[in-house]
């Protein structure tokens, strides 16, 4: 494994400390979970990126590397062969020497593992060589020289041998020699008489060595193991090496600027040749391909470019984001590819392209990444991962809770940072993330920066962020907090103690009359100011979420806070002696400390729910180091809290109350044994398992109490209409109240109330209509009324039937037809606008009604109310004999009458029906007429009246129980007195 001196970017410590309530610095201690099961879940430790490619030995076929997990006291060696499950090679020796050494490597199918017999992992004193083809092993010791003149240091692998630096004393001065040690053979001296050796690269055939001579001058040489030839390839002025070193199966050399100087390994004495490179900068070269990195601001990552070594093909962007590149023991380029959702991979490149050949990619199980920052917003957990990569990654997991418990989706990348450490993430709100980019804050949404850069100084602390605005305080300034607008970058100072929520700024001000203090809301988009609450003393800092307002401190002692609700008289004192409480959306987070405990316990109390108390969530974890970020957070927009252990595992816990997603509660039922709605079966769906109690009362008297447990969150009580004693409950309205508690956390949900009506009688109704339409109107319209005959009726259905004659002359009653459905009115006119048909003269219409009551019952159809449409006096069905006269009369049926004062005049017609009705006008000159049915006089009618009355049924008789044809005559008789001899015939109706 090559070891090189490389230029590194300076890491700038984050100085803008976060003061948001979701991330608060604490004293050092070990965190211990106190969460209740079933409402908490864990996200596994995020995998870190693979070690850089130049710290990995091998190729895509066989890869070895050094890695330390959270369970390891020191790094272990790992081996992966052709995609087989990686094998742990055990703990490695320390590499904290003056010269960096690769403790695990592979060359020509031989794996070298440097170990130490010292349990603390001192410098290597043994190197085990394992032949992968045969499984044979040999161990070479690294010890003091047999002469006792000095110590030995392991410097690297040389195929099936090792390179050892041996110190010895010569002429009272310490010198060093580089030895090639192989199993069963004597050591062979390669270099000597220098002060120190660093093996930059090696294989079974040779090594690039940085030697430091007795005068502390540096020179890079290539040593050929077979011939012992030594060729100088570079003479750096200091220990800083050239930009790049080439070491491939056929060449050695170095890169300086845009010039590559190289030697053929097969003939190093022939002297170097030079190659002009297309770009300046650090680059790595294989036998066939030249490659380099270039930062791409568009893609937000390192882009790998490659071209043929001799320049015969142009440079091409390979795409993708890689961490580093080097040359494997098989002479092919190798890159490490980091994917935030899986383990890392070592990927072999062929001709400057990612190889797809089997075995050319090896997965490396990654250890825990550094997840030093977290933020919660709206049920989304944001965690930051720098994993020793050049660029950080922001990951998001969606949180949810249901009857099965809490869960979190697999983290997905939402942002790749372009600079700074990832743990400089500050807060999230409204789908946006606030980050510290060193010189200022930046806001990202959907992975893209939004708005303007927001500058800050080293003393600025963020105290509020709502996605649109940033509120921060400057500890070095006496000015009030600074309010910055994300979209424009505009800023202004606001009063101390201000709070942000939903695009509004909340401040406090004393009332002009000295009556107290007002808490005011300023809409930052419109500038509109309103007073949302008043208090009797000067408020301290404000926290606002929706209609909830937390004032802290509030009065004496200074460890007390006040919780209030805008638009109500609600006031509650909150203890703040351990730490300032945090106000979330309908959740209040408080802190307590048990006896002897250093770290506080975070508790959550659901607001607005009767009986809800503070529930412990977890003991707060501490920072991992003095420079790492706080490892816990609360969601101020949803009931979630999270914390991270030292093992990198992130835990989330739901802090809310059960909520209803659906309700089905019938308003009534009828336990009368008819098989319809005999029981009341309400249902409420909750997102959590709950225990429940349902009480029913008549006024203030308890009638029935039901309870149970809904393990799937579905509450389904059944009331049969009995009291707690088993008696039948009386008919009437009952109030009900449902109370629920989470079966795991015992946190209550908001109570649900309502009413239900119990009816035992089926609802009935009656309908009325004039038997002859003419008695109510001059046209073919029928006024129909209906009404309930039992209590509790809420609506009606109205229907009708009509008899019609077939082509064969048979009269038949038609089907029931709907006129009104579920109507709450009690009258209508059949034949007016909205009527299903236009009534026809000569037909009889039958009307029916049924009732729906408040218990959900539907009654039977009522008996019919019959109403006929009479035949007008002008109808061709009426045959007049004798002297008759047609007279216009606006108040008469259809506007006309037929009159006669001639004794013996008559009108005849056929009557196919069961009843006969004669409609006439009664007047002062009204005469008499006889009614003859089938040749028999059935009645005599006198139409005299002192006061005129139109559309009167002056005669009615039953023709029979079945419809038959009858012959009818109306004969004018002599007057009953002088001047009373005129018959005013208006209409005739036969009921069918």
Q: How far is CA 155 from CA 342, 732, 846, in A?
A: 34, 95, 112
616 pLDDT above the threshold of 80:
yes
Question: What confidence category does residue 12 fall into, taking pLDDT thresholds of 50, 70 and 90?
Answer: very low
Rg over alpha carbons for the chain, rounded to the nearest Å, is 49
- pLDDT reported for residue 340: 46
Q: Residue 394, class by beta-carbon neighbours within 10 Å (0-12 exposed, 13-18 middle, 19+ buried)?
A: buried
Residue of 786 and 439 predicted with greater confidence: 786
Among 214, 179, 219, 167, residue whose Cα is nearest residue 194: 214
- Which of 196-205, 230-239, 947-956, 959-968 shows the lowest per-residue confidence on average (mean pLDDT)? 230-239
What's the pLDDT score for residue 68? 75
**pLDDT score for 967:** 97
Mean pLDDT of 822-830: 96
Rounded Cα distance, 764 and 787, in Å? 9
* Cβ pair 653, 617 in contact under 8 A: yes
- Alpha-carbon distance of 199 to 190, in angstroms, equals 12
Average pLDDT for 95-112: 88
Range with lowest mean pLDDT among 97-106, 382-391, 537-546, 772-781 = 382-391
Per-residue pLDDT averaged across 886-898, rounded?
96
Burial of 485 per CB tally in 10 Å (0-12, 13-18, 19+):
middle
pLDDT beyond 50 at 14:
no
Buried b (16+ CB within 10 A) or exposed e, 125-155: bbbbbbeeeeeeeeebebeebeeeebebbbb
Tokens of 657: 């109350």
Cα–Cα dist 196/214, whole Å: 9
Q: With b meaning 16 or more CB within 10 Å and e meaning fewer, what string describes 573-588? A: ebebeebbbbbbbbbb
Answer whether 930's CB lies under 8 Å from 908's CB.
no
Residue 423 has pLDDT above 60, yes or no: no
Mean per-residue pLDDT, 73-78:
85
Q: First and final CA of the chain: distance in angstroms? A: 110
Could you please report the per-residue DSSP string of 121-168? --B--EEEEEETTT--EEEEE----TTSS--EEEEEEETTEEEEEEEE
User: How far apart, in Å, are the Cα atoms of 757 and each of 357, 481, 692, 852?
Assistant: 75, 59, 22, 13
Q: Is the pLDDT of residue 23 over 50?
A: no
* Mean pLDDT, residues 61-71: 76
Give the tokens for residue 84: 């087989």
Query: Which structure tokens are listed for 396?
Result: 């998001």
Mean pLDDT, residues 661-690 taken together: 93
Encode 527-551: b = buried (16+ Cβ within 10 Å), e = exposed.
eeeeebbebeeebbbbbbbbbbbbb
Q: What is the pTM of this model?
A: 0.67
**pLDDT of 278 strictly over 90:** no
Token pair 């920052």: residue: 373
Report which DSSP code applies to 689: -
pLDDT beyond 80 at 623: no
241 alpha-carbon distance from chain centroid: 52
**pLDDT greater at residue 3 or residue 245:** 245
Between CA 427 and CA 591 the distance in angstroms is: 21
Write out the E strands in 628-686. Answer: 632-634, 640-644, 650-654, 660-664, 668-669, 683-686
Q: Which residue has the higher pLDDT, 69 or 911?
A: 911
Query: What percentage of the chain has pLDDT greater than the value 90?
Result: 54
The answer to whether the beta carbons of residues 412 and 447 sit under 8 Å apart is: no
CA-to-CA distance for 425 and 201, rounded, in angstroms? 39
For 245-276, what is each residue's pLDDT tens digit?
A: 778 888 888 888 888 888 888 888 888 988 88
The long-range contacts involving 724-729, CB below 8 angstroms and separated by at least 24 positions, are: 728/671, 728/760, 729/698, 729/703, 729/704, 729/758
C-alpha 384/C-alpha 40 separation (Å) is 21
Compute the 3-state secondary structure of the chain and give helix, strand, coil in percent, each to the nearest 5: 0, 50, 45
Is 90 exceeded by the pLDDT of residue 436?
Answer: no
614-635: average pLDDT: 80
The pLDDT tens digits for 562-590 are: 999 999 999 999 999 999 999 999 999 99
User: Dihedrals φ, ψ of 588, to 5°?
Assistant: -115, 125
**pLDDT per position as a tens digit, 163-220:** 999 888 877 788 899 999 999 878 999 999 998 899 988 999 999 999 988 777 889 9
> Is 419 a residue whose pLDDT tops 80?
no
pLDDT reading at 39 higher than 90 = yes
- Lowest mean pLDDT of 141-155, 434-448, 522-536, name the range: 141-155
CB 47 within 8 A of CB 369: yes
Backbone angles phi, psi at 269, to 5 degrees: -75, -10
Buried b (16+ CB within 10 A) or exposed e, 165-203: bbbbeeeeeebbbbbbbbeeeebeebbeebbbbbbbbbb
Q: Which of 122-136, 373-387, 902-916 has the lowest mean pLDDT?
A: 373-387
- Distance from C-alpha of 679 to C-alpha of 698, rounded to nearest angstrom: 18
| β-sheet bridge partners, residue 535 | 517
The number of CA neighbours under 13 Å toward the Cβ of 353 is 5
Q: Do 302 and 309 touch, CB atoms closer than 8 A?
A: no
Quote the pLDDT of residue 734: 97
- Going by their DSSP bridges, the two strands 752-758 and 668-669 should be labelled as parallel
Paired tokens of 448: 């893209």
What is the predicted pLDDT for the residue at 257? Answer: 81
Poorest-pLDDT segment among 72-76, 340-344, 452-456: 340-344
The 3-state DSSP class for residue 55 equals: helix
Do residues 33 and 42 touch, judged by C-beta distance below 8 A?
no
């Amino acid at each position: 494994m090559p070891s090189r001196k490389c230029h590194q970017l300076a890491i700038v410590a984050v100085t803008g400390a976060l003061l948001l309530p979701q991330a608060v610095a604490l004293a050092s201690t070990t965190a211990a979970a106190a969460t209740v099961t079933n409402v908490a879940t864990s996200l596994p430790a995020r995998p870190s990126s693979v070690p850089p490619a130049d710290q990995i030995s091998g190729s895509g076929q066989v890869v070895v590397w050094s890695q330390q997990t959270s369970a390891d006291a020191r790094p272990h060696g790992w081996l992966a062969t052709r995609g087989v499950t990686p094998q742990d090679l055990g703990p490695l020796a320390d590499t904290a020497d003056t010269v960096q050494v690769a403790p695990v490597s592979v060359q020509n199918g031989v794996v070298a593992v440097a170990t130490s017999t010292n349990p603390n992992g001192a410098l290597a004193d043994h190197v085990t060589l394992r032949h992968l083809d045969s499984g044979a092993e040999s161990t070479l010791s690294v010890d003091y020289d047999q002469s006792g003149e000095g110590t030995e240091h392991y410097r690297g692998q040389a195929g099936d041998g090792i390179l050892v630096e041996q110190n010895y004393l010569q002429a009272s001065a310490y010198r060093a020699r580089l030895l090639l040690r192989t199993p069963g053979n004597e050591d062979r001296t390669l270099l000597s008489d220098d002060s120190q050796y660093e093996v930059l690269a090696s294989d079974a055939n040779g090594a690039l060595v940085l030697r430091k001579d007795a005068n502390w001058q540096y020179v890079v040489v290539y040593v050929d193991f077979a011939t012992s030839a030594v060729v100088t390839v570079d003479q750096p002025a200091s220990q800083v090496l050239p930009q790049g070193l080439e070491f491939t199966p056929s060449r050695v050399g170095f890169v300086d600027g845009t010039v590559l100087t190289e030697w053929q390994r097969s003939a190093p004495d022939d002297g170097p040749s030079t190659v002009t490179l297309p770009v300046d900068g650090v680059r790595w070269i294989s036998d066939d391909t030249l490659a380099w990195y270039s930062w791409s601001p568009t893609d937000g990552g390192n882009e790998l470019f490659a071209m043929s070594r001799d320049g015969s093909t142009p440079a091409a962007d390979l795409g993708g984001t890689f961490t580093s590149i080097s040359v494997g023991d098989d002479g092919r380029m190798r890159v490490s590819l980091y994917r935030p959702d899986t383990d890392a991979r070592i990927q072999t490149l062929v001709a400057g392209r990612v190889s797809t050949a089997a075995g050319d990619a090896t997965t490396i199980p990654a250890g825990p990444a550094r997840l030093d920052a977290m933020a919660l917003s709206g049920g989304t957990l944001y965690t930051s991962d720098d994993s020793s990569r050049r660029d950080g990654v922001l990951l998001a997991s969606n949180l949810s809770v249901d009857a099965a418990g809490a869960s979190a989706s697999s983290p997905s990348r939402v942002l790749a940072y372009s600079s700074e450490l990832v743990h400089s993430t500050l807060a999230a709100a409204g789908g946006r993330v606030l980050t510290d980019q060193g010189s200022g804050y930046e806001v990202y949404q959907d992975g893209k920066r939004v708005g303007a850069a927001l500058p800050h100084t080293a003393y600025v602390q963020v105290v509020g962020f709502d996605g649109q605005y940033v509120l921060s305080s400057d500890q070095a300034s006496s000015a009030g907090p600074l309010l910055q607008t994300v979209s424009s970058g505009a800023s202004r100072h606001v009063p101390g103690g201000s709070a942000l929520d939903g695009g509004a700024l909340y401040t406090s001000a004393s009332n002009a009359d000295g009556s107290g203090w007002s808490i005011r809301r300023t809409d930052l988009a419109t500038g509109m100011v309103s007073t949302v609450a008043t208090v009797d003393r000067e408020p301290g800092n404000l926290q606002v979420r929706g209609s909830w307002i937390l004032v802290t401190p509030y009065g004496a002692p200074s460890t007390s806070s006040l919780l209030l609700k805008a638009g109500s008289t609600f006031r509650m004192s909150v203890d703040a002696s351990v730490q300032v409480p945090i106000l979330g959306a309908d959740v209040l987070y408080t802190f307590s400390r048990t006896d002897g405990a250093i770290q506080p316990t975070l508790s959550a109390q659901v607001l607005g729910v009767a009986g809800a108390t503070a529930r412990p969530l977890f003991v707060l974890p501490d920072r991992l180091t003095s420079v790492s970020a706080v490892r816990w957070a609360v969601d101020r927009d949803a009931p979630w809290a999270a914390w991270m252990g030292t093992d990198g595992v992130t835990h989330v816990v739901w802090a809310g109350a059960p909520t209803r997603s659906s309700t089905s509660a019938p308003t009534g039922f009828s336990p009368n044994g008819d098989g319809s709605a005999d029981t009341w079966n309400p249902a409420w769906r909750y997102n959590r398992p709950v225990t429940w109690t349902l009480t029913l009362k008549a006024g203030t008297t308890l009638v029935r109490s039901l309870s149970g447990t809904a393990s799937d969150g579905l509450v389904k009580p059944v009331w049969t209409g009995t009291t707690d004693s088993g008696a039948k409950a009386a008919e009437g309205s009952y109030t009900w109240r449902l109370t629920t508690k989470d079966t795991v956390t015992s946190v209550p949900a908001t109570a649900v109330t309502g009413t239900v009506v119990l009816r035992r009688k089926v609802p009935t109704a009656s309908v009325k209509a004039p038997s002859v339409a003419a008695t109510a109107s001059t046209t073919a319209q029928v006024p129909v009324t209906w009404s309930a005959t039992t209590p509790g009726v809420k609506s009606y259905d109205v229907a009708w039937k009509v008899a019609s004659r077939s082509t064969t002359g048979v009269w038949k009653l038609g089907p029931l037809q709907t006129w009104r459905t579920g109507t709450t009115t009690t009258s209508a006119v059949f034949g007016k606008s909205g009527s299903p048909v236009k009534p026809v003269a000569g037909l009889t219409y039958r009307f029916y009604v049924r009732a729906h009551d408040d218990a959900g019952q539907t009654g039977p159809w009522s008996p019919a109310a019959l109403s006929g449409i009479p035949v007008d006096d002008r109808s061709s069905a009426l045959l007049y004999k004798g002297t008759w006269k047609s007279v216009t009369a606006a108040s008469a049926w259809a506007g006309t009458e037929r009159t006669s004062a001639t004794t013996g005049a008559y009108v005849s017609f056929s009557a196919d029906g069961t009843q006969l009705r004669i409609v006439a006008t009664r007047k002062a000159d009204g005469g008499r007429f006889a009614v003859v049915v089938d040749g028999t006089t059935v009645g005599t009618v006198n139409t005299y009246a002192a006061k005129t009355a139109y559309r009167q049924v002056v005669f009615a008789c039953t023709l029979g129980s079945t419809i038959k044809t009858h012959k009818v005559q109306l004969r004018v008789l002599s007057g009953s007195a002088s001047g009373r001899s005129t018959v005013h015939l208006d209409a005739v109706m036969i009921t069918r």
